[in-house]
Amino acid sequence: MYQPSTTPRPSLYYRYQVHAPWLPSAHPPQPRHPVVIAGAGPAGLVTALELARHGVASVVLNAELQVSAGSRAIVFTRRTLEILQQVGVAGRLVAAGLPWRCGNSIYRGQQVFRMEAPHDDDDRFGPMLNIQQQFLEDYLLDACAATGLVDLRWGNLLVQVDQRDDHALLTVDTPEGPCTLQADWLVAADGGRSAIRSQLGLKLEGASFESLFVIADIRIDLPYPTERLAFFDPDWNRGNTILMHREPHGIWRVDYQLPPGETPEQALQPDSMRARIDAQLATIGHAGTPWQLDWSSVYSARTLTLPDYVVGRVLFAGDAAHLLPIFGVRGANTAFQDAQALGWQLAAVVRSTAGPSLLANYSAERVGAAREIIDEAGKSTRFMAPPSRGFRLLRDAVLSLSLTQDFVRPLYHWRTSRPHAYTRSALNCAHDDDARFTAGPGHGAPPQNVRLGAEDFLLDHIGAGFHLLVFTSTALPAGVQQVVQAARQRGVPLQVLAIGTAQPVAGADAHLPDADGRVRQRYAVPADGAAYLLRPDQHVCARWLVLDADRLQAALATALPA
Ligand SMILES: Cc1cc2nc3c(=O)[nH]c(=O)nc-3n(C[C@H](O)[C@H](O)[C@H](O)COP(=O)(O)OP(=O)(O)OC[C@H]3O[C@@H](n4cnc5c(N)ncnc54)[C@H](O)[C@@H]3O)c2cc1C
C-alpha cells in the first residue's frame, strides 16, 4: 500500500498544497481509457492539455500529493511561452515571472562577454522568463481542471506496465492498495528516473559528464537586474564555473561546480554550502549580506536520449525520454515541445483521423530534436565543465585570451534552447512550392509570429488544429473549399484564415487585415493566392505560391498518414 508524504514541503516563498489522494473505493469500476499519462510534471500536464484541446480525455497519475520539490526549472524560453499561450497559461506566467535577455560572462573578475538574446517587435514574448517550476505547475493544474477532460489522480504510483496487442494493462498503487487500469495508450512522463523506462528494460544513449554542480536557491536582496551571470575560474573555486540567476520572490539561484572527487553528500553539508555561497557573494562585492537557504540539490550534466519514444503502447516524453544539461535551459523547455508534438499526434490517432504510424513520426521528430539539442548542449557543457584535460586546456586558453582578444569572446555563447525545425519530417508535403519561396518559414519550421497591433499578434489567432493561412481577399476556389469541408467531415480540425483583407472572405473562417503588409513580408509571399499550411503544433508542413484543391488534399494526406 503506497503512502505518499502528506507533510507540506518547506519553502521560503511558495506554500505547498497537499492534495487529497485519489482512492479507488470512491470511484465506480474503470472503463478502458484512451490515454493514461504517468507523471504530472511539465511534460505530463502539457500533454494532457494538448489532448484536451483536441477533445481527448486523459487520466493523469501523480505519485506525489504536491507539485515539484524545489524550484527546479526556472528559465522559460519564448517558444515555451508560445506553446503555453496555446494551453492558456502564458498570461499568468508572464504576470508572475521576471523577463530577461542579457547574459554576462565574467572571468577572474572581468566581464569578457555580454550577449543579448535576439528579440524583435514581432515577438509577443521576450526571449527568457524566470519563474519557479512550482508556480508553472500550479497554473498548468488550474488549466487542466478547467478543461473538464483531465482526471488528475494524486498519490497514484504506477508500479507495473503489461503490454498487450491493443492496450496496456497498468497496476497502480494507491493509499488504499493496488488497482488496475487499462489504457489504449500510456504516456510515460514520469521524469528522469522513469520507472517505466527501467521496467521496459530501455537504455538511454549518449554521454554523462562527471562534473557535479550544487544548485542552491537562497533568499537575498541583491541589487542586480535579471540577467544571466556566469563566473569562470573565480579565486574561491579555481578552474570551475558558477552561474547566478534572479528568481521571483527575492530568491537567487547560485549554481556552482564542485571540485573533482567531492560527493553530493559532502557538497550539501550546511557548512560547506555556507562557506561557498559566502565566497561567491564576496566575489560579487556582497560579503556579509544576509541570506537564507531555501532549497538545494546536486546536479550532473547528461546528454542522453532513448533511441525511440514509442515502445508498443507506451509513448515517452520529457525527462523520461531524454536527460539534457540545464546549460541552455533545455530540460523543461524541451519537455514542452515534446508534449505539444505528442498531444496533437496522439489525439489524431485516438480520433482516427490518422493511423498509428503518426506516432512513429512523433518519435522520429522528437528523437531528432533531442539529438540536435544534445549536440549543442554538449558544446556548452564541455565549455562550462570541461570533461578532459584536452578540453580544459582549450577552454582555459579561450578564457585567458578573452581578457585581451575580442575574437574569442563569442565562444562564450551559451546556446540557449531553441525550437527544432522538422526540416526532414515525413509530414512535409513533397509536391508543394517550398523550394520556390525565397524566404519565410519553410518545411518543418516553427511559425513566424508577426505583430498586427499594439496587443495583437498572428499567433494569437492560431488555435487548436491545422491552420491554412491564405493570402487573399477573394473567395477561396470552390475545389479548395470542398477539400476543407471534406477534411472537417472526417474529423480533421482545420481552420482557414484569409490574410490581407478587412472583409470576410468566402471559404475562410476568419480574416486579418495585414494593413502594412507585415505578415506577407515575413512569410515572403510574392503575390495573392499563396498559402501556408500549419500543423496543430504550428510548424509549417506545406506552402504554395498558388493553392489548389489537389495539392491541399495531398498535403493533408501527407500530414495525417492513414
Ligand atoms: C535539481 C534539478 C534542477 C533543475 N533545474 C532546471 C533548470 O534550471 N532549467 C530547466 O529547464 N530544467 C531544470 N531541471 C529539469 C526540469 O525540472 C525537468 O526537465 C522537467 O521537470 C521535466 O519535466 P517532466 O514532466 O519530464 O518530469 P518531472 O518534472 O520530473 O515530472 C515527473 C512527474 O512524474 C511523477 N512520477 C514519477 N514516477 C511516477 C510513477 N511511477 N507513477 C506516477 N507518477 C510518477 C512525479 O511525481 C512527477 O509529477 C532541473 C531538474 C532538477 C532535478
Kindly report the average pLDDT of the chain as a whole number: 94
Ligand 1 centroid–CA 329 distance in Å is 13
Cα–Cα distance, 370 to 205 (Å, whole number): 11
Q: What is the mean pLDDT of residues 42-54?
A: 98
Beta strands in 233-316 (DSSP E): 241-247, 251-257, 292-305, 310-311, 314-316
| Beta strands 310-311; 314-316: pairing state | antiparallel
The predicted pLDDT at position 166 comes to 96
For ligand 1, atom 2: residue with the closest CA: 72
The predicted pLDDT at position 417 comes to 63
| pLDDT tens per residue, range 237-280 | 998 889 999 999 999 999 999 998 999 999 999 999 999 999 99
Q: Is 331 helix (H, G, I), strand (E, B) or coil?
A: helix
The predicted pLDDT at position 386 comes to 75
Beta pairing partners, 119: none
Beta pairing partners, 160: 171
Above 90 in pLDDT, residue 327? no
Ligand 1 pocket (Cβ < 6 Å) reads: 38-44, 61-64, 72-75, 133, 157-158, 189-192, 195, 215, 297, 299, 318-320, 326, 329-333, 335
Handedness of CA 40, 219, 79, 213 (dihedral sign): negative
For ligand 1, atom 9: residue with the closest CA: 73
Which ligand 1 atom is the nearest neighbour of the CA of 40? 49
Ligand 1 centroid–CA 41 distance in Å is 6
| pLDDT tens per residue, range 208-242 | 877 899 999 999 999 999 999 999 889 999 988 89
Q: What is the mean pLDDT of residues 31-49?
A: 97
| pLDDT tens per residue, range 421-438 | 999 999 999 999 999 999
Ligand 1, pocket-test mutation among 174, 319, 333, most atoms within 8 A of CB: 319
Q: Which residue did the predictor score with more confidence, 296 or 385?
A: 296
Ligand 1, pocket-test mutation among 190, 197, 243, 299, most atoms within 8 A of CB: 190
Ligand 1 centroid–CA 335 distance in Å is 9
